Amino acid sequence: MTTHTITTFRFDAASAKFVKKTAQRALGLNEVKIKVTHSGICYTDVHAKDKACGLGHEGVGLITDIGANVTSMKPGDRVGWGWLRSSCGNCSACLDGYRQYCAQASGFAFCDHDQGAFADYHIIDADFAYQLPAEIPSWQAGVFMCAGASTYEALHAAGTKPHHRVGVVGLGGLGHMAVLFAKAMGCAVTVFSGSAPKAARDAFELGADECRILSNINTPIRSFGVHEQKALVDVLLICANETPDLDKILPFLARRATIVLMSIQQKPLIIPYMPFVLPGHRIIASTEASRQNHLAMIQFAARHRITPWVERFLMTEDGLKTAFDRLEKGEMRYRGVLEVPPAGI
């Protein structure tokens, strides 16, 4: 069986540097080999740094080889992939199309530790790669593989309709994509942010109708032409790194609102009981996108020309260091993308 050499960046804690590690990998019957051109960078990569694994899970590139059983893709196809890499395929969650909730689902940093998207090549099961339309340039596509897919899935899981007002807590990598998608769906949008005035300026430029700063939540900042006395939120996406004080936010929810938890955190969730129960609110969780919604999201983004806010870096040791520094300091606006440098650089 032919083996393929793959070189991936990982973080070496002893030297506090990003280093390359080379591994040999066979191409499975149902897998594709991809020459990486770009990869998004996500806070999940920060969490994974200490695992000494291949980093990156928002990859984009061109297929160079396919396994013997692959019929849906061919060499030369441009594809992307996200966090999820495998599931059992037979449980009720998988059969319903929600393989991200499979008890045996595994993804980046928990599946193949020798691989990541910060690499020269990547091998993955063809069912976990997604063909990209020409309307989405490669330097933007990685953002849709994680932040885009996650926020689109969350809006779908909440049953979001065009007449709804969507609330977005946290205007970061996830939050800014939530604003872009919600506006493209025809919704009004209120951003709840912990910082001002930059957050308000950015929120309105992204298309939001209202911004509320959590430290002064009762005083709304509204864009021109919006005159509601108190616009109540039907769907609330928690996109911040930590769940906010729900005591503050619940008064701004419409009756029977849906709260969607998207943050990755370890702190317990505290819910004010009666203010939550009496209006008939509900809380749901949403993580990765189903394959169907991942594909639908890509087509939706292409049709509406959704453009994420991206900072671009070279996929080099220096480029990774700069990108991670900005991300960990909260300075990234709003998503970082690494680009494989031209030959010779």
pLDDT digits (tens, 9 = 90+) for 98-108: 999 999 999 98
Is 127 in contact with 139 (CB distance < 8 Å)? no
Q: Grade residue 170 by pLDDT with cuts at 50, 70 and 90.
A: very high
What pLDDT digit, counting tens, does each position of 236-282 carry?
999 998 899 999 999 999 999 999 999 888 889 999 999 999 999 99
344 has pLDDT over 90: no
Q: Grade residue 1 by pLDDT with cuts at 50, 70 and 90.
A: low
The domains of the chain, with CATH numbers, are 3-147+290-339 (3.90.180.10), 159-285 (3.40.50.720)
| C-alpha separations of 290 from 57, 87, 164, 254, 281 in Å | 16, 12, 23, 28, 25
Computed over every residue of the chain, the mean pLDDT equals 94
Q: Grade residue 49 by pLDDT with cuts at 50, 70 and 90.
A: very high
Position 224 scores a pLDDT of 53
Q: What pTM did the predictor assign?
A: 0.95
| 207 alpha carbon, distance to own chain's centre | 19
What pLDDT digit, counting tens, does each position of 310-343 carry?
999 999 999 999 999 999 999 999 999 999 998 7
Comparison of pLDDT for 86 and 111, the residue scoring more: 86
Q: Which residues contact 75 (CB under 8 A, 6 or more apart)?
A: 63, 64, 65, 66
Look at residues 261, 251, 255, 267 and name the one whose alpha carbon lies nearest to residue 212. Answer: 251
Collapsing DSSP states into helix, strand and coil, what is residue 154? helix
Any idea which of 59-73, 186-200, 204-218, 318-332 has the lowest mean pLDDT? 186-200
Is 191 in contact with 171 (CB distance < 8 Å)? yes
Position 289 scores a pLDDT of 97
Averaged pLDDT for residues 153-168: 98
Averaged pLDDT for residues 33-58: 94
CB hemisphere CA count around 181 (13 angstroms): 30
Cα gap 73→130, rounded to integer Å: 9
Helices 291-303 and 149-157: crossing angle in degrees, nearest 10, is 110
